[in-house]
Amino acid sequence: MRSKRLTTIASAVVVGLALAGCSTTAADDAAGGGSTTAEGDGTVDKILFDYPFTSLPVYGAIVNIIEQRAAEKGVEVVFTNDEGDLQTQVSQLNSYLTSDVDAVVSFPVDPASLEGIAQQYRDAGKYWVTYGGDMENQDATLQFSFYQSGYDLGVDAAEWAIENVGPDAEVILLTETERQIGQERTQGMLDGLAEAGPDLNIVAQQQTVTPDEGLSTTTSLLAQYPNASVVLAAVGDAAQGAYQALVAAGRAEDDPQTYVGGLDPNLFLLQQMEAGNFFRAATYFSLEELVANVVDVPLALAAGESDPSVDLPVTLVTADDPNLPDYIAEQGG
């Protein structure tokens, strides 16, 4: 049944959202900002999950977890198929605006472009939860320690490079700077590298997200910098492409002077880590714990919780982590 609550938003649509370089969520700051949290009435029966990056290998695992959680909680979840395209995302969200969904959990391709739609959802008495960032118009946000993830990985890579290659080892960064999550992660990697390895030589930084992009970007950069020994990726799937590019370039998978690291590692990467290959580190959080919140946060809002926002802590995972087999199993391995 659709929520009957009324939002109290009186402000105009806010565009050009300034993306803050910290892990504090907008919902945390709701009392002093433009986000208005409405009172719940316990009637979230249908949730729209709007995750545009459906081509990423991790998407299948995400859907399975959500469907299991929804069954446990007795709610229905419907999914968009945006194909990573902003206009398609806008069209899909508009089409569901007048439907019977009670809440939307959306990973915005461009947060500023969705502010108006988010406000319309809230004006219509529906909850808006931002996945992977902050928006001005939101009831809650679902995050996973963006800056800390990058920082921890940068420190680990720098310490490894100094010990195994030398203080001036060449580093390639595969960045993601179009969204808050990527901006904070990328800055964290840069800060971690600078702090733990100030003399390391960062030879290239390039926007790269998918496995295919990771493969093509790294292949091109290796032609320019064949001695690069460290590749860090703000998106784990891009690290997969980097790994494959290094192997294609003739690098042995157990090369003692090569380090690939990434955030949100997928099943392929975790299996390479377990095998002792040169995918050496990742910052990890429980995918099940994160994605279950796609269901739990809207239900908490409906139950009247004022700020059920989540910012999950992360753990640096390496090959000797005793929990590595569990992480692989969680990814379906």
Q: Where are the beta strands (DSSP E) in the chain?
A: 46-50, 76-79, 103-106, 127-131, 140-143, 170-175, 201-207, 230-233, 259-263, 279-284, 310-311, 315-318
pTM score, whole prediction: 0.76
Q: What is the pLDDT of residues 23-71, one digit of tens each?
A: 334 344 433 333 344 455 568 999 999 999 888 777 888 899 999 999 9
Q: Is the pLDDT of residue 325 over 60?
A: yes
Mean pLDDT of 235-255: 96
Q: What is the pLDDT of residues 171-203, one digit of tens each?
A: 999 999 888 889 999 999 999 999 999 999 999
Place of tokens 């319309």: 120
Span of 174-178, 256-260, 314-318, 327-331 with lowest mean pLDDT:
327-331
Amino acid at 203: V
User: Percentages helix, strand, coil for the chain, rounded to the nearest 5?
Assistant: 40, 15, 40
Confidence bin at 100 (pLDDT 50/70/90): very high
Structure tokens at 316: 């640096």
* Structural domains of the chain in order of their starting residue, each with its CATH number: 46-144+287-311 (3.40.50.2300), 146-284 (3.40.50.2300)
Q: What is the pLDDT of residues 258-310, one digit of tens each?
A: 999 999 888 899 999 999 999 999 998 888 888 999 999 999 999 999 889 99
